[in-house]
């Protein structure tokens, strides 16, 4: 900051001088990231928290939070789609075949001074492999035989709870 020199004269004509130097403290907003875990193919979400450096300079709600691509939606090929709303809630829809822990995604906000702050969202997708039960049939040659195959949706432990994956067919009848 630039010093400001002040000079004034009193009623007797005596000169008085003073120097003024303002001190401006930078306000830095803070952010808290979020993690989530979900079963293969299922949507999951987490809430990012953005806090102003001072209540007199709030987070600018008129400016939407964005990913590093400058958008509120980000598609990562072979992984999934991320979306962030104005409240800082990140929703992740993995592609059906994806399992694992993708790279964390950064979300940026600004305060009313334009100071940027970022938070990260980390998702984890756990495998849910369906299983099938073998079956057999016996009968005379040339005669119709039928059997019913049973498939069970996959399961995974999500936040200490057992979650069951989506599955489209509960059983199939085979005729030969």
Instruction: Give the residues across from 73 on adjacent strands.
Output: 83
For tokens 């209540």, what's the residue? 55
- Distance of alpha carbon 36 from alpha carbon 56, whole angstroms: 32
Q: Over the stretch 107-127, which tens digit does the pLDDT of each residue have?
A: 999 999 999 999 999 999 998
Predicted confidence band at 167 (pLDDT cuts at 50, 70, 90)?
Answer: low
What residue spans of 12-170 are helical by DSSP H? none
Confidence of residue 9 (pLDDT cuts 50, 70, 90): confident
Q: Can you give the pTM of this predicted structure?
A: 0.75
Q: How far is CA 174 from the centre of its chain?
A: 44
With a cut of 90, say whether residue 57 has pLDDT above it. yes
CA 66 to CA 12: how far, in whole Å?
63
């Amino acid at each position: 900051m630039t010093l400001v020199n002040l000079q004034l004269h009193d009623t007797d004509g005596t000169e008085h001088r003073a120097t003024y130097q303002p001190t401006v403290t930078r306000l830095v907003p803070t952010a808290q990231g979020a993690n989530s875990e979900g079963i293969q193919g299922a949507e999951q979400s987490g809430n990012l928290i953005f806090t102003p450096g001072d209540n007199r300079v709030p987070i600018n709600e008129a400016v939407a939070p964005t990913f590093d691509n400058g958008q509120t939606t980000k598609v990562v090929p072979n992984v999934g789609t991320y979306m962030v709303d104005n409240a800082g809630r990140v929703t992740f829809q993995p592609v059906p075949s994806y399992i694992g822990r993708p790279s964390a995604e950064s979300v940026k906000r600004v305060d009313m001074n334009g100071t940027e702050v970022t938070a990260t969202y980390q998702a984890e997708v756990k495998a849910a492999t369906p299983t099938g039960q073998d079956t057999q049939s016996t009968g005379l040659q040339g005669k119709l035989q039928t059997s019913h195959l049973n498939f069970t949706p996959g399961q995974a432990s999500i936040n200490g709870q057992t979650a069951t994956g989506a599955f489209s067919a509960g059983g199939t009848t085979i005729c030969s």
